Structures are given as structure tokens and as C-alpha cells.
Amino acid sequence: MIETSEGPRRPLMTYALIAACCLVFAVGPASGLNPGYGTGGDLLRAQTGYFERWGVVPSALWSGAPAEPLTPLTALFVHGNWLHLLGNMLFLYVFGAMAEERMGRLQFTLFYLATGYLALLGYAAAHADSTQTLVGASGAISGVLGAFLWLFPRARVTSLFPFLFFLPLRFPAWVVLIFWFALQWLAAHGADDRPGVAYLAHLVGFSLGFLYAWVRFGRTTRVNRAARPSEGESQP
């Protein structure tokens, strides 16, 4: 919860997006909670079909099929496994609340959906012949991180670093987020065509989020106050 001069303001849309992603995951085959999808081979086939239906398949996206342009939107609410879901939702919870406060609920929601859509579209354009399915909210959440960097550059966040035995250390947001962006950049340049994390979608989303906040809000709305949230080690 965020405290303002008008009293506490709850980031309702951030919570709603988290709830929607969790609900979609729980009822889908990837969670393993829905017995209707069966077990073993039946469950694996159900997962594959589910991801192909609701996720982005770059080669299919440009095929001209009427429903395909909707998949970059539906894919934002689909996650591949529990770790994928929890990592993304942690980042959305940590950084989404303050971004929503600054933008307002409606603008934040439209920003989130548009940035996520364009991030997945950018990845699909760069891998137009790929048949690998792309799912997850990481493109949209990367956009939130980019906007956060512009709006709250000196807000302090707590990060856990594995190579420092997971000691909680507090850094300005600009240090944490630029370090995160550099990791995505290096990973994207070292990635191959095998299934894995869509680092390019992260880079596109982050860049779009930063540019949007820069153009839309300018210098007058940058905030330097300390931030409450803490950041986990998992990446969106």
C-alpha cells in the first residue's frame, strides 16, 4: 500500500492484474491443479495445445489468420510454470504499485497492456520464422520497470544477490534496474534459437516503458523519495 497526502491509496489495478494471471494459471494445465486435463502424456499434450492456442507463435502470427493478432494480448496472462508465474508476479507487485500511483489506474492498465503487446510483437517480428510459443507477462512487466526507472530513479529497493549469499542490500532503483537491463542485453546477445527466456521481449518492453514515461511525464514528475518495495532475485 502507498501512503499519499490524501491517505492510503491501494494499487487496485496492479492487484487485479496479479489476480488475473494467477487465476488463469490455476485453471490452466500448467498449474497441475485442474484434474480435467489428465496426467502424464495427456497433461503434456494439453499444455502444448493450450500454449499454442493462447500464446504467441511468431510464424503463425504473420500467417494472416484472424485470431492471431490477439495472441500477444492473451499471452500476457499465460505462464509456463509456477516459477515463471511467481517471478513475474513478484516484480509486478514490487514495481507496479508506485507506477500505478504515478500514472493513475486507467492509464497504468492501458500502458501495461500496450507495452506488453508491443514487446511480444517486437520479439515475433525479430523471429518471424520461429515456431516456439511465447507466453508470459514479462514484456509488460519490463515496461513497468522502464517507466519506474524514469519516474523513481532514486527510490531505494532491496535486492537479493545469489553471489553474495542472498544478503539483502539496498540500492537506488537506477542502479538495480540498469544492472537488470544490462543482464538482459548480455543474455539476449548470447541466446540461441532454442526454447528459453525471451530476453529480446524484455529489452523491447523496458525501452518502451522508459520512453513512454520520459515523453509523457517529463522531468517535472520524477520522484526521488525512498520506496517501500523489495525486489527478489527472480527475473520477469
Active site residues: 138, 202
Closest to 122 (Cα-Cα) out of 66, 205, 206: 205
Burial level of 57, CB count in 10 A (0-12/13-18/19+)? buried
User: Residues, the chain, total?
Assistant: 236
Q: Rounded to whole angstroms, how far apart are CA atoms 200 and 189?
A: 9
DSSP for residue 30:
G
Closest to 135 (Cα-Cα) out of 85, 172, 169: 85
Residues forming beta bridges with residue 3, ordered by sequence position: 8
Helix (H, G, I), strand (E, B) or coil at 209: helix
